[in-house]
């Protein structure tokens, strides 16, 4: 990119000087003394855990803070040479477009065209020009020809692209996207990333992207900025950040799975920091290169593969043989069957068949992951487990109860169902009361209620929020409240729909640790998830649904070894599995799903000590 020397001041798209901001009624400031320059035409990534101030920062950029949201703002923000403090949000929208998290509330028009034209209409752009611009913009976000479609009927990814079109149509120089993919499935997410890549190629557009996930972005972004508790703690090239695992952990950012292997080699002194791989080809090369030197791969590795909880900071200590452990658990629980499904068919009122011919048996104490593309029938199937939906034909028997004969409120004592969005169920003024609700419905009284609430508050770590209003807490905590409000009923079967959407890595770890704890205690877990890393790491059995039927069913290893079938149903296997496919000639058909399995290939007699 050629930056003209004489226009140096013009070359800066965004300039922040000593920016601090405190929300009204907040004790701590959300942004502390931030200084940042962004050059024109760059692609910046802003990362950090929830509550780090990422959204607050993006709201400061287009003047919504302080013009819509009050609070105490100090410092200076300038965008494309305009002083944000002195320019109305509406005028700023011509130079800086902001796309928010939830696509639903950003769509104003009933049809795609009506929505896209909203911005230019406010600027009194003539009709002919609007039509032209709308068509151009829709093409940019790959929605050409959608003009007359109803915005309500679009998919999640399409809605978010429409939201991007809505700000792009005003032809801004800078595009800021605040976690635009957090509400989307993997297909929707890759649609957004592809759109961003297109935009970068076609126009000299400065892009600021706030995002949690990193695998797809690492080579796309020019620079990363990390925020931690309102402070700007890191700025530099993405690859440098992602090789520094201790820093990532400290800031609650998810490291790339392959870098975990590399970090282990680095700790052993085999490679330099710069050699830590960040993608599959380089990891493959590295392993092939190191294997003759240090490897102990003789095919007897299976005995050494270790199972261990992936908590940051915990070492790769010696563990039990994975498959052995798995076998034992199955033996223990083989007597009982938690869920039995016979010839289940389900049809929506609109005659659209959602489930066809499903036969399943889930043993008590199992940990099952339901995966599949959106619309594959995962949620429809899960809703049969607690009777929210009744089979059109066939039957579902849960812990001996036929769902046709029981009401959801009766089943709720045995089957807990945690929905994706905690805000759909929270309605009490304190966390404690929220937890009591389910117990009261189930007919528990006085002491029993108190006791159980107490137990669950401790179990989930929500004790200190007991008397706090749930909506004053962050999304991660609200998610935990939703889980806790189900756990008070001590369900034998727990269904969790996307327990980690929108959470940062720390939040994901906490939630999954809790689910694993429940599983160990004997609860049957049925988890719906799009996060294949989690599925591979935690589930004992994976069921892949496609078009309302079961496509694959087995252990994570056996399911993820069917790479082609998975890709056909729009599922991308976890990064480490894909790495093991590349190394198939060495490892054989069975893929590895944990980084410790790779490092185990290199176990030497002089143990490298703890990580």
Partner 1 sequence: MFIEYLPGETLLHRLDVRTKMLGFFGFIIISFLFQDPKYQLLIVSLTGLLAFWIKIPLQKIRGMLIPLIPIIISIILITGFTFAPERFDHVSSQTILFYALPGEKLGATVGGFMMGSTFIFRLFGMMIASSVLILTTSMDDFTQFFQKMKMPVEVSMMLTTAIRFIPTLDKKRRQILEAQRARGTKFNEKGIIGSIRSYIPIMVPLFINSIMMANSLSMAMLNRGYGLTRTWTSMREIAFAPRDYWVMSFIVLLITLSFFVRFRLHLGVL
Q: Does 396 bind partner 1 (CB under 8 A)?
A: no
Q: Which of 355, 362, 369, 489 binds partner 1 (CB under 8 A)?
A: 489
Q: Does 412 bind partner 1 (CB under 8 A)?
A: yes
Q: How far apart are CA 524 and CA 520, in angstroms?
A: 9
Q: How far apart are CA 336 and CA 356, in angstroms?
A: 26
Q: Which of 16, 31, 130, 576 binds partner 1 (CB under 8 A)?
A: 130
Q: Does 118 bind partner 1 (CB under 8 A)?
A: yes
567: its two tokens: 């890709």
Q: Which of 30, 56, 106, 510 binds partner 1 (CB under 8 A)?
A: 106
Q: How far is the CB of 2 from partner 1 (least distance, A)?
A: 31
Q: Does 275 bind partner 1 (CB under 8 A)?
A: no
Coil, strand or helix at 92: helix
Among the listed ranges 20-28, 198-206, 392-400, 407-415, the one in contact with partner 1 (CB under 8 A) is 407-415
Q: How far is the CB of 487 from partner 1 (least distance, A)?
A: 11
* CB nearer partner 1, residue 30 or residue 214: 30
Site residues for partner 1, 151-170, by CB under 8 A, read 151-152, 163, 166-167, 170
511: its two tokens: 């939630």
Q: Does 70 bind partner 1 (CB under 8 A)?
A: no
Closest alpha carbon to 43 in 294, 221, 265: 221
Q: DSSP string covering 502-565, please? A: T--HHHHHHHHHHHHHHHHTT-EEEEE-S-HHHHHHH-SEEEEEETTEEEEEE-HHHHHT-HHH
Q: Does 348 bind partner 1 (CB under 8 A)?
A: no
Q: H-helix or E-strand containing 13? A: strand 12-22
CA atoms within 13 A on the CB side of 474: 10
Q: Are 11 and 78 in contact (CB under 8 A)?
A: no
* CB nearer partner 1, residue 108 or residue 197: 108
122: left (phi over 0), alpha (psi -120 to 50) or beta: alpha
Q: Does 468 bind partner 1 (CB under 8 A)?
A: no
Site residues for partner 1, 194-253, by CB under 8 A, read none
Q: Does 417 bind partner 1 (CB under 8 A)?
A: yes
Among the listed ranges 203-211, 242-250, 345-353, 423-431, the one in contact with partner 1 (CB under 8 A) is 423-431
- How many of the chain's residues bind partner 1 (CB under 8 A)? 65
Output the CA–CA distances (angstroms, integers) from residue 192 to 189, 333, 474, 597, in the order listed.
Answer: 5, 44, 26, 33
443: its two tokens: 């007919």
* CB nearer partner 1, residue 201 or residue 445: 445
Q: What angle do CA 276, 277, 283 make, to 5 degrees?
A: 125
Q: Which of 437, 466, 506, 582 binds partner 1 (CB under 8 A)?
A: 437
Q: Does 471 bind partner 1 (CB under 8 A)?
A: yes
Q: Which of 85, 109, 375, 461 binds partner 1 (CB under 8 A)?
A: 109
Pairs from 132-140 (Cβ < 8 Å, separation ≥ 24): 133/169, 133/171, 134/169, 137/165, 137/168, 137/169, 138/112, 138/165, 140/165, 140/168, 140/195, 140/198, 140/199, 140/202
DSSP class of 104: G
Q: Does 490 bind partner 1 (CB under 8 A)?
A: no
- Rounded to a whole number of angstroms, the CA Rg of the chain reads 26
Q: Which of 427, 474, 520, 568 binds partner 1 (CB under 8 A)?
A: 427
Q: Are 362 and 522 in contact (CB under 8 A)?
A: no
Q: Does 305 bind partner 1 (CB under 8 A)?
A: no
Among the listed ranges 77-85, 124-132, 193-201, 311-319, the one in contact with partner 1 (CB under 8 A) is 124-132
Q: Does 485 bind partner 1 (CB under 8 A)?
A: yes
Closest alpha carbon to 388 in 364, 367, 419, 363: 419
Q: Which of 45, 47, 100, 248 binds partner 1 (CB under 8 A)?
A: 100
* CB nearer partner 1, residue 180 or residue 262: 180
Which residues of the shown chain bind partner 1 in the complex (CB under 8 A)?
59, 62, 64, 67-68, 88-91, 93-94, 97-98, 100, 102, 104-110, 114, 117-127, 130, 151-152, 163, 166-167, 170, 383, 386, 388, 408-409, 412-413, 416-417, 419, 421, 423-427, 437-438, 441-442, 471, 485-486, 489
């Amino acid at each position: 990119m050629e930056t003209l020397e004489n226009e140096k001041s013009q070359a800066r798209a965004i300039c922040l000087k000593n920016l601090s901001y405190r929300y009204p009624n907040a004790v701590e400031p959300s942004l502390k003394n931030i200084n940042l320059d962004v050059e024109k035409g760059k692609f910046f990534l802003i990362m950090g855990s929830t509550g780090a101030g990422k959204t607050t920062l993006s709201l400061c950029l287009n003047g919504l803070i302080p013009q819509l949201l009050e609070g105490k703002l100090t410092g200076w923000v300038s965008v494309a040479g305009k002083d944000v403090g002195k320019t109305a949000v509406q005028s700023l929208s011509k130079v800086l477009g902001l796309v928010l998290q939830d696509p639903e509330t950003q769509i104003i028009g009933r049809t795609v065209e009506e929505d896209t034209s909203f911005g230019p209409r406010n600027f009194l752009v003539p009709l002919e020009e609007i039509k032209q611009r709308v068509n151009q913009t829709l093409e940019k976000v790959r929605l050409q020809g959608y003009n007359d479609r109803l915005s309500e009927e679009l998919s999640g990814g399409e809605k978010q692209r429409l939201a991007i079109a809505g700000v792009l149509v005003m032809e801004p120089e800078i595009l800021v996207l605040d976690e635009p993919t957090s509400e989307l499935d993997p297909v929707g997410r890759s649609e957004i990333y592809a759109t961003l890549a297109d935009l970068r190629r076609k126009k000299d557009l400065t892009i600021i992207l706030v995002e949690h996930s990193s695998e797809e972005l690492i080579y796309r972004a020019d620079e990363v900025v990390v925020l931690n508790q309102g402070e700007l703690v890191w700025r530099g090239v993405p690859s440098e950040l992602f090789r520094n695992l201790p820093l990532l952990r400290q800031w609650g950012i998810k490291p790339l799975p392959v870098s975990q292997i590399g970090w282990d080699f680095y700790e052993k002194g085999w490679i330099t920091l710069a050699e830590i791989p960040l993608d599959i080809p380089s990891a493959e090369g590295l392993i092939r290169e190191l294997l003759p030197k240090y490897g102990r791969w003789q095919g007897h590795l299976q005995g050494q593969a270790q199972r261990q909880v992936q908590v940051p900071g915990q070492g790769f200590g010696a563990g039990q043989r994975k498959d052995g452990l798995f076998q034992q658990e199955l033996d223990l629980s083989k007597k009982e069957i938690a869920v039995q499904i016979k010839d289940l068919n389900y049809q929506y009122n609109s005659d659209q068949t959602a489930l066809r011919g499903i036969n399943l048996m889930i043993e008590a104490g199992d940990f099952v992951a339901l995966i599949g593309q959106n619309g594959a029938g995962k949620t429809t199937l899960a809703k049969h487990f607690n009777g929210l939906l009744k089979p059109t034909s066939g039957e579902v028997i849960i812990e001996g109860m036929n769902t046709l004969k029981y009401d959801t409120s009766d089943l709720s004592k045995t089957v807990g169902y945690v929905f994706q969005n905690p805000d759909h169920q929270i309605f009490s003024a304190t966390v404690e009361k929220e937890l009591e609700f389910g117990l009261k419905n189930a007919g528990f009284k006085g002491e029993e209620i108190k006791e159980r609430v107490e137990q669950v508050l401790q179990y989930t770590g929500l004790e200190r929020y007991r008397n706090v209003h749930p909506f004053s807490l962050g999304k991660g905590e609200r998610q935990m409240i939703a889980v806790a409000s189900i756990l008070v009923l001590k369900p034998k079967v727990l269904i969790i729909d996307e327990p980690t959407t929108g959470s940062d890595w720390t939040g994901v770890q906490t939630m999954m640790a809790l689910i694993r704890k429940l599983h160990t205690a004997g609860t049957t877990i049925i988890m719906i998830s799009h996060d294949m890393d989690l599925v591979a790491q935690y589930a004992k059995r994976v069921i892949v649904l496609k078009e309302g039927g079961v496509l694959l069913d087995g252990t994570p290893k056996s399911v993820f070894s069917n790479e082609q079938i998975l890709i056909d149903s729009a599922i991308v296997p976890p990064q480490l599995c894909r790495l093991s496919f590349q190394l198939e000639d060495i490892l054989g058909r069975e893929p590895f799903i944990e980084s410790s399995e790779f490092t185990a290939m290199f176990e030497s007699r002089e143990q490298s000590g703890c990580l």
